[in-house]
Every structure is written in C-alpha cells, then in structure tokens.
Amino acid sequence: MTTYVPANPSQDLSVNPDHDIVNVETTDCCVVGGGPAGAVLSLLLARQGISVMLLETHKDFDRDFRGDTIHPSVMEIMEEMGLSDRLLQLPHAKMHRIRVQTPQDTVTLADFSHLKTHYPYITMLPQVKFLEFITQEAQKYPNFRLVMGANVQELITENGVVQGVRYRGGGWHEVRALLTVGADGRHSRLRQLGGFESIETSPPMDVLWFRLPRKSEDPEGGVGRFAQGHIVAMLDRGDEWQLAYVIPKGGYQKLRAAGLEELKKSVVGVIPEFNERIQNLQDWSQVAFLSVESSRVKRWYLPGLLLIGDAAHVMSPVGGVGINYAIQDAVVAANVLSKPLKNRQVELSDLAKVQRQRELPTRIIQAFQTFVQKQIFAPILNSNRNFQPSILLRLPILRDLPARLIALGVFPVHVQT
C-alpha cells in the first residue's frame, strides 16, 4: 500500500491518492534541493552513469546573501573532478587571511597562506555562479535532469520505505526513485516530512546582511570588526563589501523599531571610515535578516531517504564553513552510494555509512563554532566588552589550527567515483 505524507499535517494540503498527476517519472536517485550539496552530488552520480533528477523549489539560483565562500577543501575536490581551472576563470576574489580589528589592535585569526594546499585561500565566488557552473556541467550527461520550480510536498512511502516524492510545479508530479536525498537546506522540507529529531548545538544569534561600496585602498579578504559591544564581519566581494552585523537573538525587532538611522550609526561606530558610504543604505529592503541557529539530526536517514548538508546539520555562519561541509557530505555520499545505486540495492547500512563518515567532522566543527559564539561573541554582545585576543593566537603553532579547521575540515575528503 502506498501512503502520502503531507509537508505539514496541520495544514490542509488536500493530500490524497487522487491528485491529478501531470506525469510520473522514475530515476535512480531523486535529489531534493539545488544548493551546493545537491548540485555536486547530482553531478558526481551523473558522471557514474546513474540516472539522477535534481528538484529545486525556486525558478533560478539567484538569491541574495547566500554563502559565497569556497574553501580550499572544496577547491581540491573541484581539482579532482577536473573543474578547478575553469571554475577559477569565473570572476572571483581571494581571501588569504581572516583578521579581527578592535580599537586597540589587529589580530590574524586564520592565515591560510601557511597551509599545504594548491589553494591557500578562500575563494569568494557568488553562489549563483557556482551553482550554474556545476549544473551546467551535470547537464552534459543525458542521465541528469534538473527541474526548477519543483515544490516538493509529499514523500511516497511503501511498506516503510521511501520510494520518491510528489511535487507541485505546473500541476502535481510524481518522481519514483530507488533513493531520495534531502539536500534542501536549513529549512528542509524533507527533514520535516520524515519527522527527524534535531539536537541544538550552539547558542543562537541573528545576523543582518547588507552591502556597501568597497574602495581600492580598503584591505583585502575578510575582516572582523569588534567595538562598542558590536560585531561586524566584512567580506571582500570585489567592488563591494558584504557585511554581517551580528546581534543577540531576538534583537531584530528592537533594532528595526529604533530605525535604519540607528543601525547606520551603530555600524559607523564600529567602522568609522564608512561614515560616508553608509549613506548608500537607504531602506530596510537592502538589509537581509538571517535567524541563526545550529543543530544536527540524530539520525540522517530512513529507509530510502538520506539527508545531507544543512538538511542534516544546520551550521552557524561562524567560519563560513556550511557550504564546504555540505559539499564534503555530497562527495562521501557519492563515494558510498554509487555502487549500491548501480546494483539497484541501497541498504540501510549504506546510508548509515554516510552518516558514520560525516558525523564526527560535523560535531567537531559545530563544537568549534559553539566555542567562538560563547567565548567571543556572547561576551561582546551581552556586556559591551571589547574583544581581548589571547596571546595564544599569536603563537604560530596555534595560529594555524583555526586556519586548518576552517579551510580543510577535520578529515580530508576525496572523490573516489
């Protein structure tokens, strides 16, 4: 018997077996979510001759203030796939170090130039360009199909095994698959559909994103500015700075009520040299609000269904590692599951193996993010204290640890398929 699980049982979605189905398709693997994890996994499977359908709920990839950092670990993966040279032909910037600047001092928190890698820097590349690049590469394979505007609403379950999904997009569609992968981000519909239980991993905070002009004489790379109880992260986007203004959880409404001028005044208090260019911020529509939480599901899989990336572990923006851990998940999933998919026999143990290889690195980086939020961010935001960098950060042996963890991850991940 086939059962259909609604996206939210409390909502009336008129879920029943009598939907007017526009068409029914079959594939070896149905990947839900066209972000970095879903796109890279789809490409890796397609290269192996496995039929794969990638469903993306939006009609294009162009959404503002997504993570645009590609770390050395992912550039090495791109090199193993023979794509790194062409990827770097796209307009991009390079971040060689992450610095923290206070009114009293400047400290380098992570210097990537010391790392043993062909790519000793973070590549700043708009995510829309990265996703277009990866999906265009995947479309070279006849066994790959990308469907934009596919809003997944239901899981199809037979005898306790997920057999695919049903989605809306110009009518109801059904996709039958040997394996369904949820790579649909921090607000994962498939995580909700599957009833996965999550564990909170770090104290929440909120972030306001906006952009201001960058001048040629400005410093390059990434800079954190701490002053007067405020935190602003500055990311080099070529002719623009992408700024992240960190606020305590729940503080957005109070800040919004105080008015845009109060926000601008706070930013200038941290970055005085932006006194003129802050006037480019004219309306709240230029400011994107990100509610930041960090969590991971206890179990990443059900029979026939696997979660990867932010669907399995929501990352804090600390270190900008979310994209890179998601892509590493995709590589491990492809390495482990390509043979079972070719043999048309994906066991629960195969899905468990993916989690087993990726859970420890995830827990370690989330512990690192928790430490930074509790020991550095929280005291500044909650007590107006200035950041006092530890003398330990000035020692080369310890200086390289944050850089390695951020840039390369806990364990190296290599493409085997």
What per-residue confidence (pLDDT) applies to 4?
Answer: 38
Percent with pLDDT over 90 in the chain: 56
Distance CA 153, CA 7 (A): 5
What per-residue confidence (pLDDT) applies to 251?
Answer: 82
What per-residue confidence (pLDDT) applies to 240?
Answer: 87
What per-residue confidence (pLDDT) applies to 9?
Answer: 35
Contacts of 75 (CB under 8 A, 6+ apart): 84, 87, 117, 118, 119, 123
- Average pLDDT over every residue of 330-357: 98
Q: Is the pLDDT of residue 7 over 50?
A: no
- Average pLDDT over every residue of 14-20: 55
Tell me how crowded residue 139 is: count the other CB atoms within 10 A of its CB.
15
Q: Is the pLDDT of residue 318 over 90?
A: no
- Mean pLDDT across the chain, nearest whole number? 87
Q: Is the pLDDT of residue 129 over 90?
A: yes
Q: CB-based burial of residue 383 (10 Å sphere; 0-12 exposed, 13-18 middle, 19+ buried)?
A: exposed
From the list 77, 43, 119, 50, the residue with the least C-alpha distance to 323 is: 77
Distance CA 29, CA 177 (A): 5
Beta bridge partners of 31: 54, 181
User: pLDDT tens digits, residue range 54-100?
Assistant: 999 999 888 765 678 899 999 999 999 999 999 999 998 888 888 77
- Average pLDDT over every residue of 300-317: 95
- Average pLDDT over every residue of 376-392: 61
348-372 and 396-408 helices, crossing angle to 10°: 140
pTM comes to: 0.88
- Average pLDDT over every residue of 35-47: 97
What per-residue confidence (pLDDT) applies to 293?
Answer: 80
Query: What tokens does 228 get?
Result: 């007067």
- Average pLDDT over every residue of 145-149: 97
396-408 and 72-80 helices, crossing angle to 10°: 50
Query: Under CATH, domain 2-92+122-199+294-381+395-408 is a member of which superfamily?
Result: FAD/NAD(P)-binding domain (3.50.50.60)
Q: Is the pLDDT of residue 258 over 50?
A: yes
What per-residue confidence (pLDDT) applies to 396?
Answer: 57
Alpha-carbon distances, residue 61 vs 39, 53, 57, 147, 236 (angstroms): 11, 17, 10, 12, 21
Q: CB-based burial of residue 82 (10 Å sphere; 0-12 exposed, 13-18 middle, 19+ buried)?
A: exposed
What per-residue confidence (pLDDT) applies to 66?
Answer: 63
Work out the pLDDT band at 405, boundaries 50, 70, 90. Answer: confident
Q: Is the pLDDT of residue 342 over 70?
A: yes
More confidently predicted of 103 and 51: 51
Distance CA 138, CA 317 (A): 28
35, 185 in Cβ contact below 8 A? yes
What per-residue confidence (pLDDT) applies to 201?
Answer: 80
Query: What tokens does 133 get?
Result: 């690049």
26, 156 in Cβ contact below 8 A? no
More confidently predicted of 103 and 361: 361
Q: Is the pLDDT of residue 387 over 70?
A: no
Any idea which residue has 């590692």 for tokens? Answer: 321
SS (H, E, C) the chain: CEEEECCCCCCCCCCCCCCCEEEEEEEEEEEECCCHHHHHHHHHHHHCCCCEEEEECCCCCCCCCCCCEECHHHHHHHHHCCCHHHHCCCCCEEECEEEEECCCCEEEEEEHHHCCCCCCCEEECCHHHHHHHHHHHHCCCCCEEEEECCEEEEEEEECCEEEEEEEECCCEEEEEEEEEEECCCCCCHHHHHHCCCEEEEEEEEEEEEEEEECCCCCCCCEEEEEECCEEEEEEECCCEEEEEEEEECCCHHHHHHHCHHHHHHHHHHHCHHHCCHHHHCCCHHHCEEEEEEEEEECCCEECCEEECHHHCEECCCHHHCHHHHHHHHHHHHHHHHHHHHHCCCCCHHHHHHHHHHHHHHHHHHHHHHHHHHHHHHHHHHHHCCCCCCCHHHHCHHHHHHHHHHHHHCCCCCCCCC
377, 214 in Cβ contact below 8 A? no
More confidently predicted of 191 and 372: 191
User: pLDDT tens digits, residue range 196-208?
Assistant: 999 888 766 788 9
What per-residue confidence (pLDDT) applies to 12?
Answer: 34
